[in-house]
Structure 1
Amino acid sequence: MPFTVKGQGPAGQNPLLADPTIFYYKGIYYLYGTNGHNANEGFTAYTSADQRNWFYRGIVLKKGTSFGTRGFWAPQVVHYKGRFYMAYTADEHIAIAVADSPLGPFQQQEIKALDTSVKMIDPFLLFEKDKVYLYHVRLQNGNRIFVGEMNKDLSAIKTATVKECIHADAGWENTANAKWGVTEGPTVVKRGRYYYLIYSANDFRNPDYAVGFATGTSPYGPWEKYSGNPVLSQQTTGNNGTGHGDLFKDAQGNWHYVFHTHYAAATVAPRRTALIRVTFEKTANGEEVITADPRTFHFLNVVQ
């Protein structure tokens, strides 16, 4: 039985969020993403207490109250120093807005993007001990994933700390043999002594868009890609364009990956939001790998 979304979303349709993320806070799951109905106006949100019944909560970041004029993509929400921060993409740059609630309104006192010399998308903030790292994609010689340390007030990246993590150099990551390779949508978690960098590869319009991971022993790597990649793909879900999501842990401590697929076999957009259960499993040689269970795959759908 598919999970459902109760209430009217934009245009009375289902969420249709690409690049989704789920933020769990005090018993409530908050769902955000790139708005398939209008990605040029800001971000909307849905909430759930059980991951089965979802409610549309309206606009939480609106164009004009924070940086950006178009292309509001790939948000991430975190709780930091008593407030809620949304890192997101707009105009192919990264900005960070703040609110007193996970439902916003997320705004900036000074409307600006992070100061960089290149276009950047797909932010992911990792808080590690007393440092904050920003994983992101730089649009240079392809979509390449980088990391850099941020100021503690999240106002800027420390330029001298920026380092490339990975780029598309494996066969499954560029099935079209495109000159502009794509790795994007990073999520990073730490388990034991290892950091797991989860990412998507191929152009998002490619049916072979899929998810893999790499491991490292520091926030900077060096990163070793898993030989069994991709771990989530068209073969797992039966749907084209499977990828670009976020890993989160539920109230029971189980891991899930929220992501998008193409709308239909012959139609890319608006993309559909889905969930799948994932586990960290030990192999015979003691390696811990990420596995997605295809039996748990399902879309989020509106109740008409």
Structure 2
Amino acid sequence: MTRRIGFGALAGLVLAALPASAQDAPSFFDGADPDFEVAEGQYWLYPTFGGKTLVAWHSLDMQKWEKGPVLLDHGMIPWIGDDHAPEHRLWAPDMVRANGRYYFYYSIGPQNPTPSRIGVATCDGPAGPCKDSGKPLVNDGGHGFEAIDPAVFTDPRSGRSYLYAGGSAGATLRVWQLKPDMVSIDHEVKVKTPEHFTEGSFMFERKGTYYLSYSSGNFRDTTYSVHYATASSPVGPWKYRGAILVSDAKYKGPGHHAFLRDPKDGRWYIAYHRWEGQPHDGPYTGSRRVAITSVTFGKDGSILPIRMD
């Protein structure tokens, strides 16, 4: 079982040859909540857009991106109407490789009047085709918790896989250990919600330290930002380390992100969404844009503040 797609030994990558401008913060396309992976010699982004379908975008060089086929739509989820809500939306997907297959986790709403849920589909490859598991993976929203924003991490030390989810109005983080089949819950692991947590959690490990990053603030204004905490295990206890990606004079409300370590040269990157062309502090309307920025670490393992330009 591998941790995430982006950590396998994959050939054909050309990131080291990118010009400096491409290693800063190119903006690619409308979308939000991107998952960021490497598979089959290409880079992959899995964003939210529109709420009706979820698709993969792929690139050889992080500059020219091509939109792939639909991975999931409403008609492919047999349990979508079980809550009898008048309409539904799909968002915040996460693609993970394990067991020689690909597993596609996603949020499905509304969050009101019925609780949101988290589903999972099994895919033949990073561009699908995908088949839903046939039932919700997490279906216990409410009581201060919203079942949104799934992120799955496989611990390279223990081989255990964990699902991180939750946020928004409840601003509550929950963690579950998955069964080896990756489509079933083994048990919940009780964790403490870290400081300044709102939503959009992400977990990665570097040099024995576990990094839990997440979005804080309101996604429609300049308060939206990325913060992080560290721990000696994938389930805490967390030590809050501060904000690392915040609004500046040009780009506003960066957040809901994913980190990627290039398996060829070891460089780190963050994919995230932001508002562009917004001269005020919000609230914003319209479409957000997906962008990628390089990440550096201090000698003490801290994530240095990330510049968007």
Q: TM-score, normalised by structure 2?
A: 0.78
Deviation at 1:211, TM superposition (A): 0.7
Give the match for residue 214 of structure 2. Answer: 199
Cα distance in 2 for residues equivalent to 1:240 and 1:215: 26
Structure 1, unpaired ranges of 5+: 4-13, 169-181, 299-304
Give the match for residue 6 of structure 1. Answer: none
Given candidates 131, 143, 150, the residue that maps to 1:107 is 131
Give yes or no for contact 1:114–1:155 (8 Å, CA) kept in 2.
no
Give yes or no for contact 2:117–2:136 (8 Å, CA) kept in 1.
no
Matched, 1:61 2:61: no
For 1:32-47, list aligned pairs within 5 A: 32-35=46-49, 38-39=50-51, 41-47=52-58
Cα distance in 1 for residues equivalent to 2:91 and 2:21: 26
Given candidates 239, 242, 259, the residue that maps to 1:247 is 259
Give yes or no for contact 2:141–2:147 (8 Å, CA) kept in 1.
no
Given candidates 71, 81, 87, the residue that maps to 2:99 is 81
Given candidates 272, 287, 296, the residue that maps to 1:279 is 296
Cα distance in 2 for residues equivalent to 1:216 and 1:109: 32
Give yes or no for contact 2:222–2:247 (8 Å, CA) kept in 1.
yes
Structure 2, unpaired ranges of 5+: 1-19, 23-27, 81-86, 110-115
The 3-state SS of whatever aligns with 1:107 is strand
Give yes or no for contact 2:191–2:237 (8 Å, CA) kept in 1.
no
Deviation at 1:2, TM superposition (A): 6.6
Give the match for residue 273 of structure 2. Answer: 260
Matched, 1:218 2:236: no
Deviation at 1:109, TM superposition (A): 4.5
Cα distance in 1 for residues equivalent to 2:292 and 2:305: 10
Deviates more, 1:111-120 or 1:22-31: 111-120
User: Higher strand share goes to which structure?
Assistant: 1
For 1:4-153, list aligned pairs within 5 A: 15-35=29-49, 38-39=50-51, 41-66=52-77, 68=80, 70-91=88-109, 92-118=116-142, 119-128=146-155, 129-138=158-167, 142-153=170-181
Give yes or no for contact 2:250–2:276 (8 Å, CA) kept in 1.
no
Identity between Structure 1 and Structure 2 (%):
28
**One-letter amino acid of the counterpart of residue 151, structure 1:** K
Tell me: CA distance 1:153–1:123, structure 2 relative to 1, closer, same or farther (3 Å): same
Give yes or no for contact 1:65–1:111 (8 Å, CA) kept in 2.
no
Tell me: CA distance 1:109–1:208, structure 2 relative to 1, closer, same or farther (3 Å): closer
**One-letter amino acid of the counterpart of residue 100, structure 1:** D
Aligned length, in residue pairs: 262
Given candidates 279, 282, 287, the residue that maps to 1:270 is 287
